[in-house]
Amino acid sequence: MVLAPGLVLVAGLAAGLKAVTAGESPATPAVETLRLLGKQRRRTPDDDPGLARVGLALLPVAAVLALAVVPLGDRAPVDLDVGVVWFNAMEVVAWFAVWVAGWGPNAVTSLAGGYRVLPLGLAYEVPHMLAIITPAIAAGSLSPVAIAAAQQDLWYAVWMPAAFVLYLVSVAAMAFWGPFAAPLGRDLAGGAAAEHAGLDRLLLLAGRWMLLTAAAAMAVPLFLGGGAPPPITGPDPFPGLPALWFGVKLAVVLGLLLALRRAVPMLRMARFATLAWVVLVPLAVAQALVVTLVVLA
Amino acid sequence: MTALVAVVGALGAVAVVTGLLVFTVNSMARATFLLLASFVAVGAVLIGFGLGYLGTVVILMMTIEMMIMVVFMVMLMMNPAGLMPMTMVHNRRGSWAIALVVFGLLTTGVWLVPFPTPGPAAVGDPTLALGDALMGGQMLTMMTLGLALLATIVGTVAVAVSRR
Amino acid sequence: MVLRSVLARRPHVLTITPATVDLGLRLAVEAELARRRWPEASAPVDADVALVLGTPGPRLAAVVRSVWATVPAPRVLVAVPTAGVLRSALDDAAAGLRSSRPRGSRASSLSLDASNDALLPDGDWADHREVDVPPEPQMADLAFYDRDGLALDALHVALGPVLPHWPAGLVAHVTLAGDLVTDAHAEVLDVPASVGPGSRGRSPLGPDRTRLDVLTRVLGLLGADHLAARARHLRDHDPEPGELTAFGRRLHRNRPVRWAVRDVPLVGGAVEERTLADRVAHLAGALGGSLPPPVRPTAEKAVQAMVGLELGAARLVLAALDPDTTLGAGPVAAFAPPEVTHHHH
């Protein structure tokens, strides 16, 4: 029950960090939230507000459900034995959410923005699936808790760096963030958000931050050893505080994602689809193959 | 146990009702949503039966499948004013005939096939057991085929892009 | 009331610019908004303050009316006829957002002011829905031409003049198949189409500031916010030649930006460059040098270059070509909306 407010809080902190790096006040996310709460909602002619609002409400819900299987420390809120697959399923639900959010208003920029989720999703999904399956192969389990526990001697970020980098890229893509912001692109006047005001807009923009945070949180058990201290530090200086280590590692991953946004401008979907199929997919297959061979040997 | 049966039963009803509603709406987007809701309910029923992997994969694959269907909606019927009413039913008589015949066959099948009797409780990881039952001795063949298919896709894309 | 004072702290501003606006006014507004850290609204729906620069003609005034009708309350409409009243107009806008009943600006002395009250919301929002806003689509019909011989749907839609990083006063009447632009024609609101070449070297900004102005828009569309902010800062603050060449080199060395603008052709010979990447590289490379200013094509030529491109690429092309809309659309026939027919599958 504390999961949803917790995710909102951490996502808000991440948004505040982003505001600071952009030279704005750290209170900007709070100001923007209050601003959107105070704004009137709006409809467009011949729209389908019911369907659009299903999508808008689904986005934060999918983020919370995805986070539910992530061990926040040493235990997950819901310890699902197929947690990795569940996480993947919830993140795909977000595609649907953004697509109907763009479809609903019946306006051209919003619709084109919603459609951009499809090339984006189909381009990042295959490398992403391979990237999350690779640690599962190494640990011999689909449970994030077991995968984190299998990294006592060596973090998977070190042992399978290509999978880790691919995971980071796909985190940005699944939250249509930074280089992958095309579904909400400025060139489309805000894309899928172009016709949503007030609470509707807040759900879309906050849901995106929550999705980014939840996906970044999954990197900790999959690649960074979960709530355990780094293997090289020797005895744990904060014994019994796995949530602290989890928080530190989550902050690092979110920092990397903020740096990615600054370093790489928004990519056109045709560019990214080419990159994904010609470079990222073979790389992900090669990484999975190497890990599988080592595990089998 | 009774609660579980009630939840699974309710989800089954949701799956059937949303599945029927697909044919009553007049917008592709709503039909897609209802079909997806039906599939997700089926996935949840499977999870309720203790088949966590299978149920989750149904939700995952069906959502992606719906999204791929949307790609075709964009390609062939790009109708940005897509809320224009559009019937979801074609060839009414033919579809009725096919539906009734298939329903009859399946119903007969249900009563003719001997029902499995409850055996000993399953042991071990159901995901592992499922993989073994599906693939069994053909695992190597399937893996090789899968890689060959993927290599074909990647190769096709690479060639298409370099020719542009 | 707390919500309203929060709103006034960081209002999102939608700027509506006529083609004939004084360039100095546009730059002053952009600089003042950046100084106040008031973000640029991405769409009418995102706006708290609608800022109308200069003196809009009758066509743009109609657009202002329909755009204003789609801005969600609380909202303020402000006219800024000259740079002199800019600060007081923005202060008034903030005050208007803070007060319970938003009012128009006292700084404006235009006819808009009179219509302002009539535009204010006074009842149920549903009664105020406007249908003729330019970015709204009409019904789709079958494409007259399509590349693959499939009978695909096509959509006739007017893009602009109220879009982020969009040339002032320009409306592009485009036909879309999916997100692909299959046909496009330019119209410049309230400026008669003239016959003549583009403004080769006639920008009142001078060569380097013109380049920086174009780069600001291209980088803004690419979401490279810090680079766009740097370009705007250099444009607005009389930089040293050394700073300019340093920024040009920084852009040239930035591989992600180069990669993001690759593979987009510039067709139609509007400018001498053949690709978007070349255009951006030349704009950046010539900064601080002594080359003549970049060619700014006529609106019609620039809009024609969008044909065959995906919407996102088309937007980048239009921003990089930066048509000179003060000349009107260029030598074109008057725009006539195509016959729209409905069809069913």
- Mean pLDDT per 10-residue segment, chain A (297 residues): 79 84 82 85 80 91 91 83 91 92 85 89 92 91 88 86 94 92 90 88 92 93 85 67 86 92 90 90 92 89
The number of folded domains in chain A is: 1
Per domain, the residue ranges of chain B are 1-92, 135-164
Q: Could you give the angle at the alpha carbon of C2 between the alpha carbons of C68 and A205, nearest 5°? A: 60
Residue A179: per-residue pLDDT? 92
Residue C74: per-residue pLDDT? 85
Cα–Cα distance for residue pair A100/B140, rounded to 1 Å: 40
pLDDT reading at B138 higher than 90: no
* Chain C positions in Cβ-Cβ contact with residue A43 (cut-off 8 Å): 125-126, 129
C263 touches chain A (CB under 8 A): yes
Query: Pick from B64, B127, B158: which is nearest to A125 by CB?
Result: B64
Q: What is the pTM of this model?
A: 0.86
Q: Give which of C19, C54, C63 is closest to C325, Cα–Cα.
A: C19
Give how far the C-alpha of residue A38 lies from the chain's centroid of Cα atoms, to the nearest Å: 28
What is the signed CA dihedral for A19, A20, A25, A26, rounded to 10 degrees? 80
Residue B136: exposed, middle, or buried by beta-carbon count in 10 A (0-12, 13-18, 19+)? exposed
Residue C193: per-residue pLDDT? 61
At C149, the pLDDT band (50, 70, 90 cuts) reads: low
Residue C151: per-residue pLDDT? 57
Query: Mean pLDDT for chain B?
Result: 84
Q: C173 - beta bridge partners? A: C158, C185
SS3 C182: strand
Binary contact (B27, A112; C-beta < 8 A): no
**Top-confidence residue, C20 or C100:** C20
The nearest CA of chain A is from the CA of B106 a distance in Å of 31
Query: Pick from B53, B67, B150: which is nearest to A96 by CB?
Result: B67
Binary contact (A106, B82; C-beta < 8 A): yes
Binary contact (A89, B60; C-beta < 8 A): yes
Q: Helix and strand tally (H, E) in chain C?
A: 12, 7
Residues 17-76 of A with CB under 8 A from C: 22, 24, 28, 31-32, 34-35, 37-45
B60 touches chain A (CB under 8 A): yes
Q: B3 - beta bridge partners? A: none
Cα–Cα distance for residue pair A89/A4, rounded to 1 Å: 18
Q: Which distant-in-sequence residues (6+ apart) come within 8 Å of C314 by Cβ?
A: C181, C184, C306
Residues 119-138 of C with CB under 8 A from B: 137-138
* Chain C positions in Cβ-Cβ contact with residue B81 (cut-off 8 Å): 137-140, 155
Give how far the C-alpha of residue C200 lies from the chain's centroid of Cα atoms, to the nearest Å: 21
Binary contact (B33, A51; C-beta < 8 A): yes
Which chains would you list as touching B if contact means 3+ CB atom pairs under 8 Å?
A: A, C
Q: What is the pLDDT of residues B71-117, one digit of tens each?
A: 887 766 655 445 556 667 778 889 889 999 999 999 999 889 887 77
pLDDT reading at C126 higher than 90: no
Q: Which of A89-98, B56-65, C160-169 has the lowest mean pLDDT?
A: C160-169
Residue C76: per-residue pLDDT? 87
The nearest CA of chain A is from the CA of C179 a distance in Å of 6
Q: What is the pLDDT of residues C28-86, one digit of tens each?
A: 899 899 888 899 999 898 888 999 988 888 888 888 888 888 888 788 888 888 888 88
Fold exhibited by the domain C2-123: Rossmann fold (3.40.50)
B29 touches chain C (CB under 8 A): no
Reported as type and span, the H/E element at residue C141 is strand C141-142
Binary contact (B56, A81; C-beta < 8 A): no
Residue C124: per-residue pLDDT? 30
Reported as type and span, the H/E element at residue C91 is helix C86-98
Q: Which of B127-136, C157-166, C212-221 has the lowest mean pLDDT?
A: B127-136
DSSP secondary-structure letter at B137? G
Q: Tell me which of C5, C40, C45 to substitute to probe the interface with A (most A C-beta atoms closer than 10 Å).
A: C45
Q: What percent of chain C has pLDDT over 90?
A: 11
Residue B13: per-residue pLDDT? 95
The nearest CA of chain C is from the CA of B80 a distance in Å of 7
Q: What is the pLDDT of residues B154-164, one digit of tens each?
A: 888 888 887 65
How many CB pairs below 8 Å do chains A and C form together?
143
**Top-confidence residue, B79 or C104:** B79
Residue C316: per-residue pLDDT? 93
Residue B48: per-residue pLDDT? 87
Neighbours of A259 (CB within 10 A): 12
Binary contact (B81, C177; C-beta < 8 A): no
Q: What percent of chain C has pLDDT over 70?
A: 76
Residue A210: per-residue pLDDT? 92
Residue A107: per-residue pLDDT? 82
* Chain C positions in Cβ-Cβ contact with residue B91 (cut-off 8 Å): none
Nearest residue in chain C measured CA to CA from A264: C256
Cα-flanking dihedrals φ and ψ of residue C52, to 5°?
A: -105, 115
**Top-confidence residue, A16 or C221:** C221
* Chain C positions in Cβ-Cβ contact with residue B75 (cut-off 8 Å): 152, 178
Q: Give which of A206, A191, A255 is closest to A37, Cα–Cα.
A: A206
Residues 59-88 of B with CB under 8 A from C: 74-81, 84, 86
Q: Give which of C195, C230, C232 is closest to C213, Cα–Cα.
A: C232
How many CB pairs below 8 Å do chains B and C form together?
36
Q: C186 - beta bridge partners? A: C172
- Among left, alpha and beta (phi > 0; psi -120 to 50; other), residue A198 is left
* Chain A positions in Cβ-Cβ contact with residue C157 (cut-off 8 Å): 108
Q: Which domain holds residue A27?
A: 3-296
Binary contact (C73, A39; C-beta < 8 A): yes
Query: Pick from C154, C178, C344: which is nearest to B74 by CB?
Result: C178
Residue A149: per-residue pLDDT? 87
C176 touches chain B (CB under 8 A): yes
**Top-confidence residue, B135 or C184:** C184
> What pairing do the DSSP bridges indicate for beta strands C13-16 and C49-53?
parallel
pLDDT reading at C111 higher than 80: no
pLDDT reading at C125 higher than 60: no
Binary contact (B78, C138; C-beta < 8 A): no
The nearest CA of chain B is from the CA of A241 a distance in Å of 31
Binary contact (A92, B60; C-beta < 8 A): yes
* DSSP calls for A161-204: HHHHHHHHHHHHHHTT-GGG-GGG-GGGTTGGGTT--HHHHHHH
Reported as type and span, the H/E element at residue C153 is strand C153-159
Q: Give which of C57, C70, C63, C73 is closest to C111, Cα–Cα.
A: C57
Residue B164: per-residue pLDDT? 55
Residue C66: exposed, middle, or buried by beta-carbon count in 10 A (0-12, 13-18, 19+)? middle
At C135, the pLDDT band (50, 70, 90 cuts) reads: very low
Binary contact (A89, B63; C-beta < 8 A): yes
Q: Tell me which of C150, C262, C264, C345 to substitute to probe the interface with B (most B C-beta atoms closer than 10 Å).
A: C345
